Structure 1
Amino acid sequence: MSAPIYIRMKQSIRTPAKQMIRVKDVARITGAVRKRQMIENMIIHMIKPEDKNIIVIDSFSIIDQVIKRFPESDIEILGPNQCVVHVERKKKFPHLLIVSFIWILLFIGAAMAIMNFHYDVSMEMVQQKLHFMLTGKEVEHPLWIQVPYSIGLGIGMILFFNHWFHKKFNEEPNPMEIEVFKYQEDLDHYVAIHENKVEQSDEDH
C-alpha cells in the first residue's frame, strides 16, 4: 500500500480573472515528493468570463482527480472541505467627487454622534463644574479644559484604531480589522454552503 496523501484545503484565496486554478493554489499537499508535485500542478478549474466573483472549490473535486491519476493512493482530507476563491476583476477607481462626498458625509455623521453623546451626558456642565472646583470661578466656556479634551479625544481615536492614514503604530490588529476579518470569515462560510461549487466535471488539462 502506498504512502497516504494528505490534503488541507485553504479557507479562501484571491486570484486574478482569466487564470487557471491549480490544486496548489487552493490546498496544501503532503506525501511522496513525486506524487505531491504532480498533484499540486493539476488544473482544478479554469476561470471563465461567466464565472461570478466568488467560486467555491470543493475537496471532492480534488479527490476525484487524484484518484483518476493515482487510483491506488490513500487520501486524507484535513481541515475545511471547501476553498472560497475570490476572483479579482479589474477595479475601477471611484471619482474624486464621490470620494469627497462620502468623506464629508462620514465626517459630519461622526461629529454629530460625538456632539449628541456629549449633550446626553451633559459634558459641558461637567467641565464647568470641574473648572469651578479647581479655580472657584464660574466660566461658561472653560477652554483650558475643553481644548485639551478635544485634542485628547482625537488622539485617543487614532490610538484606538491603530492607524494614521496608511501608517500603523504596531502590529496588533485594530477593532475595525477584527470586525472586517470576522465578517469575511462569516461571508466565506455562507458562500461555501449556499453558492454553487465547482463540479467534478472540470477536467484536468
Structure 2
Amino acid sequence: MKQHVIYIRPYKKTTIAEKSGVYIKDIADIHASSAVKNQINSLLILKIKNLNKKDKYLITIIDIIKVILNAFPDVIIQNVGDPEVLIDYVPKVPKENSLWEWTKMIIVSVIIFAGATLAIMAYMKDAALDKTFVVVNRIFTGEEVENPVWITIPYSIGIAVGIITFFNHIGKKKLTDDPSPMQVEIDQYENNVETSMIDSMIVKKRGKP
C-alpha cells in the first residue's frame, strides 16, 4: 500500500486572537489530498490557558509531527518551511484607528525632524551641543541665553527615555517580552562564533591548514 506524503510549511510567526485553541491550519500550510488535508488542519496543536493575557508561544516542527503522526501514523511528513513557529497571542483583535495612526506618524515625524536638525547643527558646530542649544534658543526666542532650560530639560528627559526604550529595561525589569537590541546583537554574535568554529573544525578534519 502506498503511503501518503504530506508536505508541511510552518509559518515563521503567526498572531492568534480571541481563540482558546491553536490548530494546524493556524500555524502551517499543508499539501495533501483534500480529505487528509482537512483532517490535519483541524488537529489541535496548542491550548491557550490564560485567554486574558497577552503571551508568546513556541511550536517546533517536532511538536507538529507528533500531533500529525498520532492521528495518521502511516503518513510520511516532509517539512519545507521553518523549523519553529512563534505564536503571538493577543486577547482581542486590535482595532484600527486611522486618527491615532496619523497622530503617531505626525509625532514620530516631528521628533525625527527635530532630532535630525539638532544633529546637523551640532555637527556644523564641531559637536558643540551647548552652543547648538544657544543657537536654537536665539532662533525661536531672539534672546541670547547660555543655558536655555526649555531645551536642555526636555533633551535630558528624552535621552533617558530613549535609552530605556532602546534597551527595553528599567533596572532588572523588562518593559516588554521582546528582546532588546543588545540581546539581538549578542545572539547574532554567538551564532557567528558557532558558525566560525564549525567551519574551522571542518577545515581541520579535511586536513587543510
Q: What is the TM-score of this pair, normalised by structure 1?
A: 0.48
Q: What is the TM-score of this pair, normalised by structure 2?
A: 0.47
| Structure ranking higher on relative contact order (CA contacts 8 Å, 6+ apart) | 1
